[in-house]
Structures are given as structure tokens and as C-alpha cells.
Amino acid sequence: MTELQQRQAVALRTSRARSLLRLSRPQQWHKATMLYAAPAAAGVVDQPNALLKATIAAVAFTLLSIAVYALNDVRDTPDDRRHPTKQHRPIASGALSPRAATVWAIVTAAAGLAVLTQLGPSTCALGAAYLVTQLLYVYGLKHIAVVDVVAVALGFVLRAAAGATATGVPVSNWFLVVSLFGALFLVAGKRRAERGASTADARTRPVLAAYTSAWLDQLTTVALLGTCLSYGLWAFQYLGDDVYRQLLTVSFLPFLTGLLRYGFLVSTGRGELPEHELFRDRVLVIAGLSWAALVGAGLYLA
């Protein structure tokens, strides 16, 4: 092999690696932080063993999500090629073949499930349930109004529950309810922004046209109310306890402020990328940091 051929081979491997990385959507990997929520709420995330198990579970669920992203892009290739921005995705642009993406999905899914087997049958079962639910979403549920929203929210709840089983902490009913309504709140805001942001999205994703602004507003309101009430019931159970525990009660104020602020941003047409809004808006950042400080002190200083 000549030097030129060697350079071309290296460039091809580098290009393929970059395409696989883009296909894996690293900008979405932050969702795995849900695996730390249960041990954090239980006050054990500062323990090395719990932190290690939560991290292993987070890595496993990230691998499972990569498999889902890859198969989703394979499934949506024809639609993506008609979209002004999604046409640049690795498969739609031709940088990566559907076959290579499918193999990548199989490898990452198998790796994720293999890792979860080290964390016990319950966590492995939740991982399998997550994978099945998201694949059903990719291959049909995403086109059914209402069901698509519930399926996405369920993915967050399964992550949260897996964080609990992986670290051996009890799963609080209030914790799961907050996770469900909080996820629904974010998904409702995302759908509302997607519906009004681009006609291209409506053409390539017909389910968006099935939603009315009034119904999405209702869903946002219901999810906001459910999140506030369930979190409030959890937080106010500590009223009258140790002085540090009462900080959990105080944390309801920045929590409510953050939710109301995000709801306001959604009403102005923002929310298509929740992860961007959460860190771009100054009020949300201050409310989030205040909430985290109060909850951290209430759980770990008591």
C-alpha cells in the first residue's frame, strides 16, 4: 500500500468514526443524568459504591439510547432527506450507510444490556423495557398522537427507576410521579415549539399536525400542575423536622419558579431544545442552582 493509499484509508476511518459519533448524538447523552436522580434523592450519591453503580447504569443506558438513535435515523432517512437541517444527518447525507448504522445499533444495544446484567435482574429488566419501548416508538408509536408523548416521558421514568434499582435504594412513589409529570412537561413544551417553529417538521412528521395548540396548552398545564403538586407533597413532608431537612420544604420555591419560568418560555415559542433553554435563560439557571443548593443541604447536611 502506497503512502497516499494509507492516508486515504486513515481519512476514511476517521470520517466513518466521526459519522458514527454524530449518529450517536452526544448532545443527548445528558439524559443519562436521570440515573443519578434516585440515589441523589436518597442521600447516597456521595457514597463511592452508589456513585459507581449509578455511573455504570448511566453508561449502559447511554449505549441503549445510541442504538435507538441509530435505528431512528435509519427509519427516518427518506423524511430526513426532505428536511432542511436533518438532511445533513450521517445516513441522510450518505456519509454512513443504513447497514453500518444498523450494525452499530446492534453492537451498542448488546453492549448496554451486557453492562446492565452486572447490576442485577431488576435493572436489566428496566433497561430491556426502555429499549423495547423506544423501539416501538421509533417503528410506530411516534406517529400516534398522545401515545408518542407518553412513550417519550416513559423513557425518563424508566431511567429514573433504573437508577434506584442499580444503587439499591427504595423507589419512592412521589419520586416516580414527579419524574413522570416533569418529563411530560418538557415533552409538551417541545411538541408545542416543534409544531409552531417549522413547516418542514410538519411535513416530515405528520403527527405534529394532529396536535392543536389548545390541547398542547392543556397538556402543559396538567403536567405543570402534576409536577408542582407531587414535588410539593414530597417536600412538605419534612416541615417541622431537623433544620436542614426543612430546607427541602424551602426548595419548593425555586422549583416552582423554575417551572413557571420554563412554562413562560414555552408560551413564547421556545422549548424545542429543552437542554439549551435550561442553561441559556438566566432566571432558570439561578432557580436551578438555588434549588440544587437547598436540596443538597437538606439531604446531605441533615
User: 62: domain CATH number?
Assistant: 1.10.357.140
Instruction: Establish if 203 belongs to a structural domain.
Output: no
Which domain does 156 fall in, by range?
A: 29-171
Q: What is the pLDDT of residues 18-35, one digit of tens each?
A: 889 999 999 899 999 999
Write the CB contacts of 167 (distance below 8 Å, at least 6 apart in sequence).
Answer: 38, 39, 42, 44, 50, 53, 54, 57
Lowest-confidence range among 85-89, 260-264, 292-296?
Answer: 85-89
Residue type, 142: K
Q: By C-alpha distance, which of 186, 191, 162, 207 is closest to 259?
A: 186
Instruction: Establish if 80 belongs to a structural domain.
Output: yes
Q: What is the pLDDT of residues 126-177, one digit of tens each?
A: 999 999 999 999 999 999 999 999 999 999 999 999 999 999 998 878 888 9
Instruction: Establish if 121 belongs to a structural domain.
Output: yes
Instruction: Establish if 259 belongs to a structural domain.
Output: no
The total domain count for the chain is 1
Instruction: Establish if 73 belongs to a structural domain.
Output: yes
Q: By C-alpha distance, which of 183, 258, 254 is closest to 222?
A: 183
Best mean pLDDT range from 77-81, 169-173, 263-267, 288-292:
288-292
Q: What is the pLDDT of residues 206-260, one digit of tens each?
A: 788 888 888 989 999 999 999 999 999 888 887 776 777 889 999 999 999 999 9
Q: What is the pLDDT of residues 59-74, one digit of tens each?
A: 999 999 999 999 999 9
> In the numeric block, which cell numbers belong to residue 31?
439524559
Whole-number Å distance between alpha carbons of 127 and 268: 36
Q: What is the pLDDT of residues 277-299, one digit of tens each?
A: 878 889 999 999 999 999 999 98
Maximum separation of any 2 CA atoms in the chain, in Å: 77
Confidence of residue 10 (pLDDT cuts 50, 70, 90): very low
**pLDDT at res. 61:** 97
